[in-house]
Amino acid sequence: MAPRVLVSDKLSPTAVQIFRDHGVEVDYQPDLGTNKDKLLEVIGEYDGLAIRSATKVTEKLINAATRLKVIGRAGIGVDNVDIPAASRRGIIVMNTPFGNSITTAEHAIALMFALARQIPEANTSTQAGKWEKNRFLGVEITGKTLGVIGCGNIGSIVAARAVGLRMHVVAYDPFLSEERASELGVEKLDLDELFARADFITLHTPLTDKTRNIIDAGAIAKMKNGVRIINCARGGLVVEADLIAALKSGKVAGAGIDVFEVEPATDNPLFGMENVVCTPHLGAATTEAQENVALQIAEQMSDYLVRGAVSNAINMPSITAEEAPRLKPFIKLAEVLGSFVGQVTEDPIKEVEILFDGSTAQMNTRALISAALAGLIRPQVADVNMVSAPIMAKERGIILSEVKRDKSGVFDGYIKLTVKTQHMTRAIAGTCFSDHKPRFIQIKGINLDAEVGRHMLYTTNPDAPGIIGLLGTICGNNGVNIANFALGRDRPGGDAIALLYLDAPFPEKVLAELRAHKLIDSARPLTFDVEAA
């Protein structure tokens, strides 16, 4: 059955057609986003939901979306989506962070010019029949210092445009490297230094707990007298009451505001102030940007629903369409390794270490880690997936660590999962051969080569004569057919393990007989979500 997508906000006909061209059934209802009751009634019928800003994806809506796999936001802001709720339900949330980058950057530059030359006020005055040439004394942009807070996609474009305008650009961004700053031609500063040196300040950072109210009275006090502030990013970054007080006192000479604490902003104390330019969240409002983000979200959602490719996801590692075929077998391997440990571990898990050796260290390890955690948790929570697993692991207080290293053995690449509880440590390693099927290569430090089947039996025992015969006899006497058999030991006469690949689940009554034998320390039936050989 073809996947179904609901488009509840306005997208272009071209974007709708992209879904259909990919074999996705699309239901275009652009006014449904504002009809909460109707949306709640029908959302359970869809695998995907494509939105802009009008649709509010609340926890209540997510709980009703029993089939939903992906939410796609045509635009960068996902304030209207309850991401934690979506993540707990295993729903991918995508956005389009690049489609409106140029448009938003250009709007910030436009507001900077408007402030510098008081263009809106001069326009109003002139059209009113006045000729107040001496009233509107502006400032030059050239030679001034622009402080860019957030130098990612949009901020870096603003910085490049400002450098072209012969401005000196300083930037604050915790993730901005010295190399990238040099490439952009900007000077990297800490936040207080930026406040002290900038003539203009422009914000291009997401709204998070760390950035909320990043410009308040305390921050403004550290700024130059006569600074001008531009915000085309998110309402909530600037404390509006503090900004208004600074505008009235003259500490801040002007502000260009495209986003507000409360939107739509139909009544705001900033309105009517002569040194303020306000626009109604127009950062992404160009024909090109609106079309770009619509086409991008349609492509992204279609690629995921049809081919499993994940791009620009907020709550899951991206997997490109090109790497998906190569990564897929190792995602299954990571999931199987996690599932093995999850099925044989009863105590609460305290720590998880995942080692990527050789070629696996060069892969998309974030996706592999998510798969391993999903396999690990699934024996206790059946509906966990790669989206929700990291959230659940964090909620359980599991300490996660990742290790990468160059090839160290006979295998081109393998994954090793080590789990610690209060009382024990378990480790298992596996790889994929040319057939792309997962194989176990080490359990408890014991080397072996075992195919992974849907139904398996795992035993531990002392290395003693008769174990193979015992297992074969008990299975044979009870009609249990063994498809494959692997065993290993740490040393002669030491600890040994066996893995039996079975055609059907191991019967409980036979399991009881096996466990009662003096040569068997433990025996556990296992089930893996793999194709039968």
Give the list of residues 6+ apart from residue 104 with CB closer than 8 angstroms, or none.
Answer: 76, 154, 204, 232, 283, 284, 289
Q: Is 427 helix (H, G, I), strand (E, B) or coil?
A: strand
Residue 402 near residue 369, CB atoms below 8 Å:
yes
Q: How many CA atoms lie within 13 A of 93 on its CB side?
A: 22
168 is catalytic: no
Cα angle: 329, vertex 332, 337; to 5 degrees: 125
- Write phi, then psi, for 258 (nearest 5 degrees): -105, -15
Q: What letter represents residue 50's amino acid? A: A
263 is catalytic: yes
Angle between helices 508-515 and 467-477 (to 10 degrees): 150
Q: Which of 121, 187, 193, 263 is catalytic?
A: 263
Torsion of CA 465, 468, 470, 473, to 10 degrees: -140
Burial label for 1, CB within 10 Å (0-12, 13-18, 19+), is: exposed
DSSP 507: P
Per-residue exposure over 13-52, b if at least 16 CB sit within 10 Å of its own CB, e if not = eebbebbeebebebebeeebbeeeeebeebbeebbbbbbb
Q: How many CA atoms lie within 13 A of 450 on its CB side?
A: 32
How far apart (Å, rounded) are the C-alpha atoms in residues 36 and 47? 18
Q: Which of 281, 439, 454, 489 is catalytic?
A: 281
234 is catalytic: yes
What is the set of active-site residues? 234, 263, 281
